[in-house]
Amino acid sequence: MSADSVKNIGLVFMVDYICTIKFEINNMNLHEYQGKEILSGFGVRIQRGLVAQSAAEAVAAAKQLTDETGTSWHVIKAQVHAGGRGKGGGVKLAKNLSEVESIANDIIGMNLITPQTSAEGKKVHQVLVAEDVYYPGETETNEFYMSVLLNRSKGRNMIMYSTEGGMDIETVAEETPHLIFTEEVDPSVGLMPFQARRIAFNLGLSGLAFKEMTKFATNLYTAYVKSDASLFEINPVLKTSDNKIMAVDAKVTIDDNALFRHKDYQSLRDFREENPIEVEAGELGLNYVDLDGNVGCMVNGAGLAMATMDLIKQAGGEPANFLDVGGTADASRVEAAFKIILKDPAVKAILINIFGGIVRCDRVAQGVIDAYQNMGTINVPIIVRLQGTNADIAKQLIDNSGLDVQSAVEFQEAADKVQAVLS
């Protein structure tokens, strides 16, 4: 495959790809050790390891691994939902049991800050104690990158791979895009043997490593499809000194919408790793994603919610969240949504944008008024745009309520009012 065909991936795909990695709505992220267990179940070779919640457990795990694999060196790896752990001091090599103990002691309970976490970092609750699979003198030329994901614009699965493993793939994409290869897979046919061979060839492999890589890619693709994942990212994939190909790291994201088919995966969810406001919103049946801005949004329908966020940005503001309250925006849902939005201290105004198709606008307006009164004081201005069935009655209700709620009929008018209260 040539550099030109890489360019042909196109901006849309790269953006889509980055979005998949960074903005995972409707997805369940797994820990490295959980992802590796799934991979192993599909015959993908993995770096063996055991999870530990304490230093004592880590030592016991290391002893067990030594009995099973013969290696006396181990890597201790923080288990948090963020990449770049190595750079933040969350991946360390231990050369004996006392180092296992002291490193595990240091990592468990630490606040791990990596390029992918917020400035506060993420608290580490557990570590993976893994066999050391790097032989002394091993160079990083033996580290590869491989991911499987959906190329939405083409409606096909995609294997993305590179000789530049162990590095941040966004950096590789920026600086040396010709070193990233892609293999498109027709989902109805699956990964063809010639494609698996092309991957091994492009990675410069031969002999046993070549055969191992075709098996690795084939099984990885099967794991991705069968587990209903939206992303499998293995960075690095290692060629060991005895030419075996194995997954050293695993970032796995399962599509929430398919979880009903995988009852055994549901227990893999680690709520400690998720945004607490998003978890609470999920329990209330609200589709909420926390964002960085200061304008809270309450919208019915995901499409209108996206358009509302665009409009806020166009008017010079920044959305504080994505929130789809769903089709039945009654008083109790509106109240629940208010509570969720107001948990974010950055919110300086709330824009409610409801299209009354199935739901009548006057009922939503009454819901807003009831919720507002039930909640006592809401200290931020609220702009409500209700459009559709009974929009005029709804506007009257809001205007006559005596509350600090402004009504708008047009989209632009709503955005302008938001801007006016912010400035």
Q: Using CB under 6 A as the criterion, which residues of the chain lie in contact with ligand GDP when the complex forms?
A: 47, 75, 77, 83-86, 91, 93, 130, 132-134, 166, 235-236, 248-249
> Which candidate, 63, 18, 11, 24, places its Cα nearest to that of 275?
24
Q: Least separation, in Å, of the C-beta of 354 and Mn ion?
A: 43
Token representation of residue 388:
């559709």
State the chain's maximal CA–CA distance in angstroms. 80
Q: Least separation, in Å, of the C-beta of 203 and ligand GDP?
A: 17
Of the two residues 18 and 420, which places its CB atom closer to ligand GDP in the complex?
18
Q: Least separation, in Å, of the C-beta of 128 and Mn ion?
A: 12
33 tagged catalytic: no
Of the two residues 235 and 387, which places its CB atom closer to ligand GDP in the complex?
235
Would you list the DSSP string of 121-172? -EE---EEEEE--PPTT--GGGEEEEEEEEETTTTEEEEEEES-TTS-HHHH
Do residues 78 and 103 lie in contact, with contact meaning Cβ atoms separated by under 8 Å? Answer: no
Burial degree of 116 (CB within 10 A; 0-12, 13-18, 19+): middle
Q: Least separation, in Å, of the C-beta of 161 and ligand GDP?
A: 15
User: What is the binding site for Mn ion (CB under 5 A)?
Assistant: 235, 249
Q: Least separation, in Å, of the C-beta of 34 and Mn ion?
A: 15
Of the two residues 239 and 360, which places its CB atom closer to Mn ion in the complex?
239
Q: Which does 246 bind (CB under 5 to 8 A by kind): ligand GDP, Mn ion, none?
A: none
335 tagged catalytic: no
Of the two residues 86 and 177, which places its CB atom closer to ligand GDP in the complex?
86
DSSP letter assigned to residue 203: T
HSE of 390, CA atoms in CB hemisphere, 13 A: 15
Of the two residues 169 and 364, which places its CB atom closer to ligand GDP in the complex?
169
**Pick the catalytic residue: 17, 33, 134, 145?**
145
Name, in order, each residue with C-beta under 8 angstroms of 312's C-beta and a sequence gap of 6 or more.
293, 295, 297, 318, 319, 351, 415, 418
Q: Which does 324 bind (CB under 5 to 8 A by kind): ligand GDP, Mn ion, none?
A: none
**Pick the catalytic residue: 131, 164, 212, 233?**
233
Do residues 337 and 298 lie in contact, with contact meaning Cβ atoms separated by under 8 Å? Answer: yes
> Which candidate, 347, 384, 378, 336, places its Cα nearest to that of 364?
384
Known catalytic residues are: 145, 233
